[in-house]
Structure 1
Amino acid sequence: MGFAEKRGDYWRGRYKVPSGKQLTVVDENGKTIRFATKGEAQRAASEAENMHRRGDWRDPALGQGAFGEYANRWYEAQDLAASTMQNYRRHIEEHLLPEFENKALADILRTDVDLWEKKEKAVYAASSVKTWRSTLHLIFADAIDEGLITSNPAAKRRGRGKRAGRSHDRGPEKAITDALGILLVAERAALLSGRDDEFVAVVLKGYTGMRWGEIVGLETEFARPGSIRVEWQLYELDTGDLVRCPPKDDSYRAIDAMEWLTALVADHVARAKPTPCPCHGKTYVFRGQGVARTGDHQGAKLVDVARRAEVSTGTVSNVLNHPNRVTEAKRGRVKHAIADLGFVRGGAVSEHAAHWRRNGFATWLFTPAVSGWYPKKAPQQPRPVPLLGEPWPGVPARGRGASERADACWLPIAKGLTPHGLRHTHRTVMEDIGTEKVLMDRRMGHIDSSVSARYAHVTPGMRKRLMLGLTEQWETALDARLALCLTSPVRALNNLLLVRASMVQSPRHR
Structure 2
Amino acid sequence: MGYAEKRSTYWRGRYKLADGKYGTVQDTTGAVVKFATKREAKQAADAEEVTVRRGEWRDPARGQETFGDYAGRWYDDQDLAASTMQNYRRHIEEHLLPEFGDMALGGVLRSDVDRWEKAEKSEYAASSVKTWRATLHLILADAVDEGLITSNPATKRRGRGKRAGRSRDRGPEKVVTDALGVLLIAERAALLSGRADEFIAVVLKAYTGMRWGEIVGLETEFARQGSVRVEWQLYELDSGELVRCPPKDDSYRTIDVPDWLSALVANHIARTKPSPCPCHGRAYVFQGQGTARTGGHQGAKLVDVARRAEVSTGTVSNVLNHPDRVREDTRVRVELAITQLGFVRGGVPSEHAAHWRRNGFATWLFQPSATGWYPKKAPQEARPVPLLGAPWPGVPVRGRNAQGRADACWTPIAKGLTPHGLRHSHRTVMEDLGTEKVLMDERMGHIDGSVSARYAHVTPGMRRRLLVGLTGRWEEALEARREMSPHSPVTVVDRLLKAAGPR
Whether TM-score is above 0.5 comes out as: yes
SS, match of residue 17 in structure 1: strand
Q: Which moved more, 1:15-24 or 1:490-499?
A: 15-24
Distance 1:13 1:342 in 2: 86
Which amino acid is 1:424 matched to?
H
Which amino acid is 2:94 matched to?
E
Query: Which residue of the partner structure matches residue 52 of structure 1?
Result: 49
What's the CA shift for 1:486? Answer: 0.9
Distance 1:167 1:6 in 2: 52
Query: Which residue of the partner structure matches residue 376 of structure 2?
Result: 376
The 1:47/1:106 distance shift into structure 2, 3 A limit, reads closer
Q: Which moved more, 1:22-31 or 1:59-68?
A: 22-31
- Kept in 2: contact 1:12–1:32 (CA 8 A): no
What's the CA shift for 1:496? Answer: 0.6
Query: Which residue of the partner structure matches residue 149 of structure 1?
Result: 149
The 1:378/1:10 distance shift into structure 2, 3 A limit, reads closer
1:469 corresponds to 2:469: yes
1:19 corresponds to 2:37: no
Q: Which moved more, 1:386-395 or 1:9-18?
A: 9-18
The 1:17/1:292 distance shift into structure 2, 3 A limit, reads same
Query: Which residue of the partner structure matches residue 172 of structure 2?
Result: 172
What's the CA shift for 1:73? Answer: 1.6
Distance 1:465 1:128 in 2: 39
What's the CA shift for 1:330? Answer: 2.1
Distance 1:111 1:335 in 2: 70
The 1:251/1:16 distance shift into structure 2, 3 A limit, reads closer
The 1:397/1:104 distance shift into structure 2, 3 A limit, reads same
Distance 2:166 2:47 in 1: 49
- Kept in 2: contact 1:223–1:229 (CA 8 A): yes
Query: Which residue of the partner structure matches residue 281 of structure 1?
Result: 281
- Kept in 1: contact 2:25–2:48 (CA 8 A): no
SS, match of residue 244 in structure 1: strand
Q: Which moved more, 1:138-147 or 1:401-410?
A: 138-147
Distance 2:468 2:3 in 1: 86
What's the CA shift for 1:57? Answer: 5.5
Structure 2 gap ranges (5+): none
The 1:34/1:486 distance shift into structure 2, 3 A limit, reads closer
Query: Which residue of the partner structure matches residue 189 of structure 2?
Result: 189
What's the CA shift for 1:309? Answer: 1.2
The 1:2/1:52 distance shift into structure 2, 3 A limit, reads closer
The 1:293/1:45 distance shift into structure 2, 3 A limit, reads same
Q: What's the CA shift string for 1:82-115, capped at 9, x where partnerless?
A: 1111000010011111111111100111121122
Q: What's the CA shift string for 1:269-310, capped at 9, x where partnerless?
A: 111111111111111000001221112211001111111111
Q: What's the CA shift string for 1:242-268, capped at 9, x where partnerless?
A: 111111111111111111101111111
SS, match of residue 290 in structure 2: coil
The 1:396/1:19 distance shift into structure 2, 3 A limit, reads same
- Kept in 1: contact 2:371–2:414 (CA 8 A): yes
- Kept in 2: contact 1:319–1:334 (CA 8 A): yes
Query: Which residue of the partner structure matches residue 231 of structure 1?
Result: 231
Say which one has the larger Rg. Answer: 1
Q: What's the CA shift string for 1:404-432, capped at 9, x where partnerless?
A: 11111111111111111111111111111
- Kept in 1: contact 2:60–2:148 (CA 8 A): no
What's the CA shift for 1:122? Answer: 2.3
What's the CA shift for 1:447? Answer: 1.4
1:458 corresponds to 2:458: yes
The 1:4/1:147 distance shift into structure 2, 3 A limit, reads closer
SS, match of residue 235 in structure 1: strand
What's the CA shift for 1:333? Answer: 1.7
Query: Which residue of the partner structure matches residue 134 of structure 1?
Result: 134
Distance 1:154 1:6 in 2: 37
Which amino acid is 1:17 matched to?
K
Q: How does 1:15-94 map to 2 (within 5 A)?
A: 17=16, 19-23=18-22, 25=24, 27-28=26-27, 40=38, 44=41, 48=45, 51-55=48-52, 58-94=58-94
- Kept in 1: contact 2:117–2:129 (CA 8 A): yes
Q: Which moved more, 1:44-53 or 1:250-259?
A: 44-53
SS, match of residue 488 in structure 2: coil
Q: Percent identity?
A: 72
- Kept in 2: contact 1:291–1:351 (CA 8 A): no
Q: Which moved more, 1:107-116 or 1:374-383?
A: 107-116
The 1:61/1:325 distance shift into structure 2, 3 A limit, reads same
What's the CA shift for 1:3? Answer: 6.6
Distance 1:35 1:490 in 2: 82
SS, match of residue 138 in structure 1: helix
What's the CA shift for 1:195? Answer: 0.8
Distance 1:43 1:169 in 2: 45
Q: How does 1:93-492 map to 2 (within 5 A)?
A: 93-492=93-492
Which amino acid is 2:113 matched to?
V
What's the CA shift for 1:137? Answer: 1.1
Distance 2:31 2:371 in 1: 66
